[in-house]
Structure 1
Amino acid sequence: MENRGENGQLLVRASTLPTLPSNTYNYQTRKRKKPLNKTKSTPPRLGRQGSFSREIGHAAAETYLITRLAFKLLSYLGLGYRWITRFLGLALYAMLLMPGFLQVAFYYFFSPLVRRSVVYGDQPRNRLDLYLPAKIDSPKPVVAFVTGGAWIIGYKAWGSLLGKQLSEHDIIVACFDYRNFPQGTIGDMEEDVSQGISFVCNNIADYGGDPNRIYLMGQSAGAHISSCALVKQAIKESRGETVCWSTSQIKAYFGLSGGYNLPNLVDHFNNRGLYRSIFLSIMEGEESLQKFSPEIMVQDQSSKAAVHLLPHIILFHGTSDCSIPSDSSKAFVDTLHGVGAQAELILYEGKTHTDLFLQDPLRGGKDDLFGYIVAYIHANDKEALDKDAMVPPRRRLVPEILLKLACRTSPF
């Protein structure tokens, strides 16, 4: 089915909605630490929110860690022409978008609605940021978001623009940090993300979130990691293993510009500057590529029962994405259809790897991706839909000429 969005861009959809067995999760057996105060107009404080001096100390420790890991990463990369030119392009790209980044950074560091660096686990970088609506008078839907960054430069603050926009529509957003390479490999990243999802599922009610309305979302490398965590959790549940969160708690999965079949992407990434040796080191060797490929995992006959535990999966991709081809999302959706899973593909004609996540939101106004996600989450809430209709269009954060120049210089 084809239709055109508000800006005339072509949206290509492919979907199937087979009848699935209903999965339930008993939330009543979990005792809340703090009851939700439904009359409170300001977000509750987090007990783990440290003092300003403690936050400065944490920032210093993070800076030291990142610097040390950067030198270690350079020892892996060497003096490669492709990655150096990509890095210089990234620096120029960031400079052109700096007017918008500075405004979002001011919100991130100074808004009372942002709770930074909530600890969700015992490992390094097991922290998340929470973006809260201005008024929490009833349990709010939640988006658990995993940022991208080529498995190397992912950082929770990359989701601050998304967090700001969704929280303005009464949706709580939790953005995860996770160990990047070379601090960790893909197994560590997947473990961290699963731990973060567990924290959200089991604790978000304490911060005004609705544990019955949690949506998982990932972008780029974050889409790959989060989809791995989701599929492997379903496999564990289907085998009767003990789990600390359930796939039945996830209402839907949103995957943005992700890659889901690693063996098919090795050569492509190598040609783009993410060299084969580095990529295989991140993925724990060539022999591990299949076990960290959701598209391959769902085809395993031993995982057949797990497929029906998966939530509705919706993948978004731009057709002009050079970093991860849109065929990656199309192939995954086709595979999901083939095994009887509930899946949908939405392609955005002419959009690049970062258009949907950065340039379009910085442009302001309305865009199809953001509108789709909000409408999907609020689909059964007429009051929320009415409020969404009253929200004014988003403000432009970057002049159009800078956005066009950024698109030309983008390394993505």
Structure 2
Amino acid sequence: MDSTASLRQSSSSAAAEEVMEMETKPLLTKFLTYPPPVAAQRRRAKLGSSSPATPRPSRQNSFGRDIGHAAKETYLITSLSFTLLRYLGVGYRWITRLLALAWYAMLLMPGFLQVAYCYYFSSQVRRSIVYGDQPRNRLDLYLPTNTDGKKPVVVFVTGGAWIIGYKAWGSLLGLQLAERNIIVACVDYRNFPQGTISDMVEDASQGISYICNNIADYGGDPDRIYLMGQSAGAHISSCALLEQAIKESKKEEIISWSVSQIKAYFGLSGGYNLFNLVDHFDSRGLYRSIFLSIMEGEESFHQFSPEVRVQDPNNIDAVSILPPITLFHGTADYSIPSDASKIFVDVLQRLGAKADLVLYDGKTHTDLFLQDPLRGGKDEMFDQIVAVIHADDKEALEQDAVAPPRRRLVPEILLKLARNISPF
């Protein structure tokens, strides 16, 4: 895999240089959101200090600032896209998928524009909070309008085939959960070719650590944190969670966050065994050579396959400290077959972990995460997740029972056309 390593290094360096150049431009740096708040207030409270509470960070609305931030993030996505296309070259399956993705996005554009407006201009959104020293170490926070009391928190890792993942992809979920008085943190991470799987898992773990140690400064409850990932994000977040559990069980390293701080894990349409996915992805346009480069070669499949790794006898103690796990999957998902979640849950249950599987008959890879939320109204998966988060809060459950249905954002005919043309 020497050639793969060389390719990774050169591709990562090129992409990193482009993004670092962008991050250091004087015109754009002023658009970065707040520096990471310090959790000192929380530590002082535990020590019984009488120091006055630090006020929650506030957002200074500025049209010019928001436009500049939009330009900065568009630059980031564009530069990474061109770097990726230079690497991929021309391939029939890849081009057809790209064209299908363009049409899919156009059909759902009425909803995307409404969400984008809220993302850039809503006072509920704190964008691009820095959680690490890498160019993509940023996260977005979605805050409820109700500021009374500490709120439960969902740390969300977005999908994107390990190539086009981006924190803003979680904005629809973030805004809708915030309406239910739940804080959502959407964690960005390095994509390929800017980084490979170990970089992605490291970034996700750092983002989780930041939330565990600092969310109290934003009104979040550090004792009610939930971890969630979708598609590739489900794979990355599950790797980060298991890796953390292994570190804690072996007591080999100093840790900055603990698995015990995660009340539950939600995996949506994820893949958890790379050995079973490599050929499937190749047939759908994510070519084997590219997938091997992303995953750092076949010799790394064991390390980054949670389903395989939990079965290692050396990791049995790590399995015992995992939080309750619920995996959601559609039976008509052709991007990542629902068997990926079913087998992982079977393995976890056999090993004594608390794990549940929720299958949705006829749902595709994007139905659960995009079409259904854009459709509005009642949503079974959304309601199940909220019910778990609010399980110990009687008042919140009562409010959920009378909450109005979510607003429709896209006409039904466009949703059906998008479903038929979806490349996922």
TM-score (ref. length: structure 2): 0.86
- CA distance in structure 2 between the aligned counterparts of 1:267 and 1:349, rounded to whole angstroms: 25
1:85 corresponds to = 96
1:370 corresponds to = 382
Q: Deviations over 1:163-200 (max 9, x none)?
A: 11100000000001100001100110000000000000
Counterpart check, 1:279 vs 2:283: no
Shift of 1:57: 5.8
More RCO (CA 8 Å, sep 6+): 1
1:209 corresponds to = 220
Q: Deviations over 1:9-60 (max 9, x none)?
A: xxxxxxxxxxxxxxxxxx99834698377xxxxxx3259x897766666655
Shift of 1:114: 0.7
Inter-CA distance 28–125: structure 2 relative to 1 (3 Å threshold):
closer
Say whether the 8 Å CA contact 2:265–2:326 is kept in structure 1. Answer: yes
Q: Which amino acid aligns with 2:123?
A: P
2:166 corresponds to = 155
Say whether the 8 Å CA contact 2:234–2:267 is kept in structure 1. Answer: yes
Counterpart check, 1:103 vs 2:114: yes
2:419 corresponds to = 407
Shift of 1:389: 1.5
Q: Which amino acid aligns with 2:361?
A: E
Shift of 1:66: 3.8
Q: Which amino acid aligns with 2:370?
A: L
1:332 corresponds to = 344
2:147 corresponds to = 136
Secondary structure of 2:43's counterpart equals: coil
Say whether the 8 Å CA contact 1:36–1:207 is kept in structure 2. Answer: no
- CA distance in structure 1 between the aligned counterparts of 2:386 and 2:98, rounded to whole angstroms: 34
Runs of 5+ unmatched residues, structure 2: 1-39, 46-50
Identity of counterpart residues, as a percentage? 74
Shift of 1:75: 3.0
Say whether the 8 Å CA contact 1:36–1:205 is kept in structure 2. Answer: no
- CA distance in structure 2 between the aligned counterparts of 1:92 and 1:67, rounded to whole angstroms: 18
- CA distance in structure 1 between the aligned counterparts of 2:108 and 2:373, rounded to whole angstroms: 12
Inter-CA distance 46–339: structure 2 relative to 1 (3 Å threshold):
farther
Higher helix share: 2
| 2:367 pairs with one of 355, 359, 382 | 355
1:265 corresponds to = 277
- CA distance in structure 2 between the aligned counterparts of 1:394 and 1:294, rounded to whole angstroms: 34
- CA distance in structure 2 between the aligned counterparts of 1:226 and 1:347, rounded to whole angstroms: 20
Inter-CA distance 287–50: structure 2 relative to 1 (3 Å threshold):
farther
Q: Which amino acid aligns with 1:374?
A: V
Q: Which amino acid aligns with 2:43?
A: R
Shift of 1:78: 1.7
Runs of 5+ unmatched residues, structure 1: 1-26, 38-43
- CA distance in structure 2 between the aligned counterparts of 1:120 and 1:258, rounded to whole angstroms: 25
Shift of 1:245: 0.1
| 1:35 pairs with one of 40, 53, 58 | 53
Matched residues, number: 379
CA RMSD of aligned residues (A): 2.0
Say whether the 8 Å CA contact 2:42–2:216 is kept in structure 1. Answer: no
1:395 corresponds to = 407
Shift of 1:253: 0.1
Secondary structure of 1:290's counterpart equals: coil
Counterpart check, 1:303 vs 2:319: no
| 1:113 pairs with one of 111, 120, 124 | 124
Inter-CA distance 55–231: structure 2 relative to 1 (3 Å threshold):
same
Inter-CA distance 389–34: structure 2 relative to 1 (3 Å threshold):
farther
Q: Which amino acid aligns with 1:371?
A: D
TM-score (ref. length: structure 1): 0.88
Give the 4+ runs in structure 1 shifted more than 2 A.
27-37, 44-47, 49-72
Q: Which amino acid aligns with 1:99?
A: P
Say whether the 8 Å CA contact 1:261–1:295 is kept in structure 2. Answer: yes
Inter-CA distance 71–106: structure 2 relative to 1 (3 Å threshold):
closer
